[in-house]
Chains A and B, each alone.
Chain A
C-alpha cells in the first residue's frame, strides 16, 4: 500500500463516524421523509397508498397551513430587523474599551444558553395583564393593561419582542467578531477627513459589516421562520390561530393528528420557502456588496 493510499484510508476512517452520523440522522430521515410525503400514510397503520404530489397540492390549498406560513413570515419580519438593529447597537457599545465590557458580553449571552422553555415561562409572567412586569411599567406611563398573550393583535408581536432578547447573544457575538475585523486605519484616515461618530459608523462600520450582517440576517430569518418553543409554551398557536406558526402547525399535523405524510410534504414546502427567502436575501446583499466594492 502506498503512502497516499494509507493516507486516503486514514482520511476515510477519520470522517467515517461523522459521515455515518450524518447518514443515519440526516440523510436517511430526509430520504424517508421525501418518500413519506408521496404517500397517504399514517405511520402507525400498515396500509398506505401512493398519492404522488397530492399532499403538496393539498397543503398549498390548506388555509391553516397557509395561515401558519404567513404568521411565520410576519414573525420573521417583526423579530429579525429589530433584533439585528438592537444586537448591532449593543455590539458597538460592547466594542468600546470599557472596564465592564467582558461582564456585559457575558450578560447579553446568557439567554442563548438558557432553556427556551424556562425563558418562555418567565415571559408568560412578564406579559400577565395588570400584574405582569410589562403591564406594571405601562400603567406607570398611564397606558391601559394589555392582555398580550390572549389578544390576537398582540400575541405574535409579543413573542417577536421576546425573541429580540433571546436571540441577542449569538448576534452580538457575530457583530463583535465583525467589528474586530474592521481595520483601525480606516477610522484613522476618516478622522483626518473629519468623519467621526455617526458619519464614521455609517460610512465605514456599516459597509464593512455587510458580510456579517448578511450571515446574521440569513441565519436569523431561517430560525425565525422555524420558531417553535415560545409558541408551544406560551400560546399553543392561539388566540384564534394568530400565533400558529408553521413549525407548530407541522408539529401538530404530525404528532397530534398523526398525518405524518402530510406533515412531511409541508416540511418540504417550508424548506423551499426558507431557501427562497435566503436566496433573495443573498441576492440583495450581494448587490449591496458590489455597490460598496469601490469604497
Chain B
C-alpha cells in the first residue's frame, strides 16, 4: 500500500518555491503531531506567524508528522518520494541516517556568509550533532544532557547528604544503601537504552567498536557486563524497585515520590513541575556516577535542517535564522523543555539554579551514537529488550550482552 502511495506523494507533494498567492511556500516538518493547543503549541505558532509577518513573501506550511517514534521512517519516505520538506526538525539520535543519505543540504556556506548567525553562538557539542565530514547539516535548537535528578526532600527526610558532581559508582551505591536504611528506594533503573547507555561509558565501556560497525568484542566486554550487573544489583538489593513494582503503580516512580533519584533529560522538568509526588523546586541535578576521571553522559539534541529538494534555500535559511534568533529562542525556551543551544539564551536562563546545574554538565556530554551510526535505532530497540531480560532475572548480564551483540552484528551485516 505504501509503495502504491509513493508516486502519489511524489505527485501530490510540492516543494519549496511553488508560488501560492505569489508567495513562496515553505514546508516545515515537525514531530509534534496534531498538537494539543497548549501554551507551548500557541507559542510556537506565534513564532511562525511573526515570521510570516516579517517576511510577507513567504507562506509557512506546517507538516506535523504524527507519532514521534515514526518520524524517522516517515521523513525517510519523503526522501524516497523526492518530497523532503524544506525545513525539517532533526533529532540527533537519528541524524546520521539523514545526513549520510543526502536528505539534507550542507548549511556551512550559509553560516559562513551570514552576518548574524554564527557558530560561536552555539555550544560546541550541539554543533557536533549535526556535523559530518566537516560539513554542518543542522542548526541546533535545544538539547539536554542526561543527568541524575535527586529529590532533596527525600534526602533531607533520610538525613542523607546530597550527591556531588564526580561521584563514583560506589558513592552512588552507598547513597542508595543509606536511603534504604531509612525505608526509601534510592533509584529507578530504566530499560530504555538512552537512559542507561552512559552507565557503560562511565565504566569505560562502549556499545560499538570505533568504526561503529561491530558490537561483538565491545558490547560484550567485561566492563559492560559489570556496569549492567551493577544496575541489576541495585534491584536485587532493594535499592531500586523491580520492573513489576514500577509497572504496578502505573506511574513514573520519581515524579510520584517513590524513589529519590532518576536519570532523565531536561524535558522531564515540565512534567515534574506538575507532579503531585514531588516539589520540583526541591530537585537537584548531578552528574552520572562514574569510574572515570571525570563523568561523561550523552546529550540529546534537536536542530533544524534544510531539505535536499528545497528550491528556495535562502528562504529556508531566513526561517531558521528567525527561529534560532535570541528573541525567539528566549520565547521558545520559556517552556523549559530543554537547554537552549544558544549560549546567550542558555546563560540567561541559567539564573535558575537547576539550569546552572545542567549547564555544569554540558562539557562532559557526548553526542548520541545515532549522530554517527546509521540504523542505531535498531541497537536501542534490542538494548531495551536486553535490559528487560537482565532486570527480570531471565539472563545474566554477560549472556544478555552477548546475545544483543550477536543481534546487532547480524543486523549490521545485512
Residues of A near B389 (CB, < 8 A) are: 239-240
Residues of A near B4 (CB, < 8 A) are: 24-26, 28-29, 32
Decide yes or no: A257 and B73 within 8 Å by CB, A28-B3, A150-B243, A150-B244 being known contacts. Answer: no
Whether B248 contacts A239 by the Cβ 8 Å rule is no
Instruction: Give the size range of B's interface with the partner.
Output: 35 or more
Q: Determine, out of B30-38, B214-222, B266-274, B376-384, the stretch whose residues face the partner at the interface.
A: B376-384
Residues of A near B385 (CB, < 8 A) are: 237-241
- Minimal beta-carbon separation of A139 from chain B (angstroms): 12
Residues of B near A32 (CB, < 8 A) are: 3-4
Q: Does A152 contact B (CB under 8 A)?
A: yes
Decide yes or no: A147 and B247 within 8 Å by CB, A241-B385, A255-B73, A262-B414 being known contacts. Answer: yes
Which residues in window 343-395 of B have CB below 8 A to A?
A: 375, 377-378, 381, 384-385, 388-389, 392, 394-395
Q: Mark B297-314, 1 if CB is under 8 A from A, else 0.
A: 000000000000000000
- Minimal beta-carbon separation of B406 from chain A (angstroms): 9
Q: Does A258 contact B (CB under 8 A)?
A: yes
Q: Does B249 contact A (CB under 8 A)?
A: yes
Q: Mark A228-270, 1 if CB is under 8 A from B, else 0.
A: 0000000011111100000000001001111100100000000
- Minimal beta-carbon separation of A93 from chain B (angstroms): 35
Whether A44 contacts B76 by the Cβ 8 Å rule is yes
Decide yes or no: A129 and B244 within 8 Å by CB, A44-B79, A239-B389 being known contacts. Answer: yes
Decide yes or no: A257 and B2 within 8 Å by CB, A147-B247, A252-B381 being known contacts. Answer: no
Query: Which residue of chain A lies nearest to B385 when distances are taken between CB atoms in the complex?
Result: A238
Q: Does B171 contact A (CB under 8 A)?
A: no
- Minimal beta-carbon separation of A19 from chain B (angstroms): 14
Q: Does A131 contact B (CB under 8 A)?
A: yes
Q: Does A203 contact B (CB under 8 A)?
A: no
Residues of B near A145 (CB, < 8 A) are: 244, 248
Whether A130 contacts B378 by the Cβ 8 Å rule is no
Please measure, in the bound complex, the distance between the C-alpha atom of A130 and the C-alpha atom of B244, giving whole angstroms. 9
Residues of B near A252 (CB, < 8 A) are: 378, 381
Residues of B near A24 (CB, < 8 A) are: 4
- Minimal beta-carbon separation of B74 from chain A (angstroms): 9
Residues of A near B245 (CB, < 8 A) are: 129
**Among A125, A128, A129: residue with most chain B CB under 10 A:** A129
Residues of B near A131 (CB, < 8 A) are: 248-250
Which residues in window 213-268 of B have CB below 8 A to A?
A: 243-245, 247-250
Which residues in window 63-122 of A have CB below 8 A to B?
A: 64
Decide yes or no: A43 and B80 within 8 Å by CB, A28-B4, A64-B407 being known contacts. Answer: yes
Please measure, in the bound complex, the distance between the C-alpha atom of A285 and the C-alpha atom of B227, giving whole angstroms. 57
Q: Does A205 contact B (CB under 8 A)?
A: no
Whether B101 contacts A256 by the Cβ 8 Å rule is no
- Minimal beta-carbon separation of A48 from chain B (angstroms): 13
Q: Does B50 contact A (CB under 8 A)?
A: no
Please measure, in the bound complex, the distance between the C-alpha atom of A207 and the C-alpha atom of B2, giving whole angstroms. 42
Decide yes or no: A29 and B248 within 8 Å by CB, A238-B385, A262-B414 being known contacts. Answer: no
Q: Does A287 contact B (CB under 8 A)?
A: no
Q: Does A45 contact B (CB under 8 A)?
A: yes
Residues of A near B80 (CB, < 8 A) are: 43-44
Whether B3 contacts A29 by the Cβ 8 Å rule is yes
Residues of B near A238 (CB, < 8 A) are: 384-385, 388
Residues of B near A149 (CB, < 8 A) are: 247
**Among A28, A131, A150, A252: residue with most chain B CB under 10 A:** A150
Whether A129 contacts B248 by the Cβ 8 Å rule is yes
Please measure, in the bound complex, the distance between the C-alpha atom of A36 and the C-alpha atom of B392, giving whole angstroms. 40
Residues of B near A212 (CB, < 8 A) are: none
- Minimal beta-carbon separation of A176 from chain B (angstroms): 32
Q: Does B1 contact A (CB under 8 A)?
A: yes
Query: Which residue of chain A lies nearest to B406 when distances are taken between CB atoms in the complex?
Result: A63
Residues of A near B247 (CB, < 8 A) are: 128-129, 147, 149-150
Please measure, in the bound complex, the distance between the C-alpha atom of A258 and the C-alpha atom of B5, giving whole angstroms. 17
Whether A128 contacts B250 by the Cβ 8 Å rule is yes
Q: Does B41 contact A (CB under 8 A)?
A: no
Please measure, in the bound complex, the distance between the C-alpha atom of A131 and the C-alpha atom of B248, giving whole angstroms. 6
Query: Which residue of chain B lies nearest to A36 when distances are taken between CB atoms in the complex?
Result: B3
Please measure, in the bound complex, the distance between the C-alpha atom of A241 and the C-alpha atom of B381, giving whole angstroms. 11
Residues of A near B209 (CB, < 8 A) are: none
Q: Does B411 contact A (CB under 8 A)?
A: yes
- Minimal beta-carbon separation of A122 from chain B (angstroms): 12
Whether B2 contacts A29 by the Cβ 8 Å rule is yes
Query: Which residue of chain B lies nearest to A32 when distances are taken between CB atoms in the complex?
Result: B3
Q: Does A33 contact B (CB under 8 A)?
A: yes
- Minimal beta-carbon separation of B311 from chain A (angstroms): 21
Residues of A near B411 (CB, < 8 A) are: 257
Which residues in window 37-91 of B have CB below 8 A to A?
A: 70, 73, 76, 79-80
Whether B73 contacts A239 by the Cβ 8 Å rule is no
Please measure, in the bound complex, the distance between the C-alpha atom of A237 and the C-alpha atom of B378, giving whole angstroms. 13
Which residues in window 114-135 of B have CB below 8 A to A?
A: none
- Minimal beta-carbon separation of A242 from chain B (angstroms): 10
- Minimal beta-carbon separation of A231 from chain B (angstroms): 13
**Among B4, B250, B381, B411: residue with most chain A CB under 10 A:** B4
Decide yes or no: A240 and B388 within 8 Å by CB, A145-B244, A257-B411, A262-B414 being known contacts. Answer: yes
A44-B80, A44-B103 given; 18 more Cβ-contact pairs under 8 Å: A44-B76, A44-B101, A64-B407, A128-B247, A131-B249, A131-B250, A145-B248, A150-B243, A151-B392, A152-B394, A238-B384, A256-B73, A256-B381, A258-B73, A258-B76, A258-B97, A259-B414, A262-B414
The 16 sampled A-B contact pairs (Cβ below 8 Å) are: A25-B5, A43-B80, A45-B101, A58-B414, A64-B407, A128-B247, A128-B248, A131-B249, A150-B243, A238-B385, A239-B388, A240-B388, A240-B389, A256-B381, A259-B414, A262-B414
What residues of chain A have their CB less than 8 Å away from a CB belonging to chain B? Answer: 24-26, 28-29, 32-33, 36, 43-45, 58, 62, 64, 125, 128-132, 145, 147, 149-152, 236-241, 252, 255-259, 262
Instruction: List 9 tightest A-B contacts by C-beta distance, closest first.
Output: A130-B248, A255-B73, A29-B4, A29-B3, A147-B244, A129-B244, A25-B4, A129-B248, A32-B3
